[in-house]
Amino acid sequence: MKRPAVPTPAAEWNERSVDLARLLGRAGLGDRAAFATLYERTGPHLFAVVLRINRDRAQAEDILQEVYVNVWRAAKGFDAAQSQPLTWLTSIARNRAIDSLRRNQTRPQIQGSGAFDGAADGEDDSVYDTVADSAPGPLDLLSQASDARELASCMEHLSAQQRQSLALAFYQGLSHAEVAEQMRQPLGSVKSWVRRALLSLKDCLQRAVQRDQSAVRST
CA-CA distance, 113 to 140, in Å (whole number)?
28
CA-CA distance, 68 to 66, in Å (whole number)?
6
Query: Which of 76, 64, 82 minimizes the C-alpha distance to 29?
Result: 76
Query: Does 144 participate in binding other proteins (rule CB under 8 A)?
Result: yes
* Interacting residue with other proteins among 24, 38, 55, 84 (CB under 8 A): 84
9-28 vs 85-104: helix crossing angle, rounded to 10: 80
Query: Does 147 participate in binding other proteins (rule CB under 8 A)?
Result: yes
What one-character-per-residue DSSP string does 111-149 give?
A: -STHHHHHTTTTTTGGGGTTS-TTSPPHHHHHHHHTTTS
Considering the complex, state which of residue 91 and residue 214 has its C-beta at the smaller distance from other proteins.
91
* Interacting residue with other proteins among 54, 176, 208, 212 (CB under 8 A): 176
Cβ contacts of 189 within 8 Å, gap of 6 or more? 161, 180
Considering the complex, state which of residue 21 and residue 117 has its C-beta at the smaller distance from other proteins.
21
Cβ contacts of 2 within 8 Å, gap of 6 or more? none
Query: Does 102 participate in binding other proteins (rule CB under 8 A)?
Result: yes
* Interacting residue with other proteins among 80, 183, 205, 215 (CB under 8 A): 205
Cβ contacts of 39 within 8 Å, gap of 6 or more? 68
- Smallest gap from Cβ 202 to other proteins, in A, equals 6
Size of residue set near other proteins by CB under 8 A? 70
Footprint of other proteins on 41-80 (CB under 8 A): 43-45, 47-49, 51-53, 61, 64-66, 68-70, 72-74, 76-79
Site of interaction with other proteins (CB under 8 A): 9-10, 12-13, 32, 36, 39, 43-45, 47-49, 51-53, 61, 64-66, 68-70, 72-74, 76-79, 82-84, 86-88, 90-91, 94-96, 98-99, 102-103, 135-136, 141-142, 144-147, 151, 166, 169-171, 173-176, 179, 194-195, 198-199, 201-202, 205
